[in-house]
Structure 1
């Protein structure tokens, strides 16, 4: 059972090699935080042979509050790539909204509350908004992982000749975090690049 976030073709290759060796393999992609993992409340998206999935399902249910079979090998990894791509875009967008609000002199606690009650609401606002405001970036999902996972999604898009400008711009921001020594911060640390007078390199590209 492979829970790593890797490209879909790797899962396909692993299944093939496993079958050649007389073994069954399964991808169990996680869409959850470390806190949920510790509490046994993961959201697992599984791919591979459905018979193998049914055998492993009781074990997986001990780890997760939701276990979902997506399809053949590689399919769950595709869904995971899209989950993280959209999450990363939302995170970058929230950082920019809060940064502009701060530059305009708005009260960010008020702004976050308004966001939560309007079309600006998101799961990321709930998990990362206050951390962005308070510069609390203890790592639950690192900027480095965000860059990697956005890269997986972009590679899938390139293979289909599909242009994803928002995903590309988001990955560039996370790559910039890594280049500037911020890659081990939580993904919420992307706010350090957008708020004025925070990170020493912030604003260089304006």
Structure 2
């Protein structure tokens, strides 16, 4: 995700320095674009008004931000750190508080739209943070965002991303069952989708994933392993705030079944695979 997002920043005219824990990825980006490559997060952050991060999980984010070679160590007072990772609201608030001690702004800004959204600059960016920090960072995020919106103080972006993942989990399971029903009933799945996608059942998942689902192809987006990471955050936070997520909990177990089938790196539409196996 970060690779094309950084590319959009460079295309928009910003001076960009990239860092990746796998140096070959940063090398490849620098060879393709006019930006620079750094050896550490601190080096990448030095002299920058904005530092964008997009890594894997809470621990990855801490490692990129903290320590003598972390991004915070290289950032000047008044700079803004923008986190595009999907992580817990807890680590977001923890790191924002640490950043504030050095006068660094912090915006949590997880994204939705998948690899295609990142490549096409059409991501939904859901943000939390102080109004001033967000106002400064918003024009920069517009480089790759179709929708960029502040939902509240630090942590609100992550909470909104949880709502996003909860909605997707139920949608993908419903779509999987609908396509499976069509197959079992001897219907033309494409024809079924042509009709129902124009009505109340239509969704982004239906339009963009039904063809590959019918073709039993699952190499087209966000991986099951990452979805389970996200759903674990959702379920833990639901307990904390007193929300009930029975469908989300069930679909999380369905994704666990997919992992057991060896599909941890399949995209999230692979839920239909377990239905085909069960038949």
TM-score (norm 1): 0.90
Over aligned residue pairs, what C-alpha RMSD do you find?
1.5
Question: 2:3 maps to which residue?
Answer: none
Which moves more between the two structures, 153-162 or 87-96?
153-162
Question: 2:48 maps to which residue?
Answer: none
Shift of 1:167: 0.7
Question: 1:199 maps to which residue?
Answer: none
Shift of 1:103: 1.2
Question: 2:15 maps to which residue?
Answer: none
Which moves more between the two structures, 86-95 or 60-69?
60-69
Question: 1:198 maps to which residue?
Answer: none
Which moves more between the two structures, 150-159 or 113-122?
113-122
Unmatched tracts of structure 2, length 5 or more: 1-81
- Indicate which of 18, 22, 25 corresponds to 2:103: 22
| 4+ residue segments displaced more than 4 Å | none
Structure 1 segment 144-155 matched on structure 2, within 5 A = 144-155=225-236
Question: 2:85 maps to which residue?
Answer: 4
Whether 2:161 is the aligned partner of 1:74: answer: no
Shift of 1:58: 2.0
Distance 1:93 1:41 in 2: 25
Whether 2:138 is the aligned partner of 1:54: answer: no
Unmatched tracts of structure 1, length 5 or more: 196-201
- Do 1:42 and 1:65's aligned partners in 2 also have CA atoms closer than 8 Å? yes
TM-score (norm 2): 0.67
- Indicate which of 249, 252, 257 corresponds to 1:168: 249
The size of the alignment, in residue pairs, is 198
1:43 counterpart SS class: strand
Greater RCO, 1 or 2 (C-alpha within 8 Å, sep 6+): 1
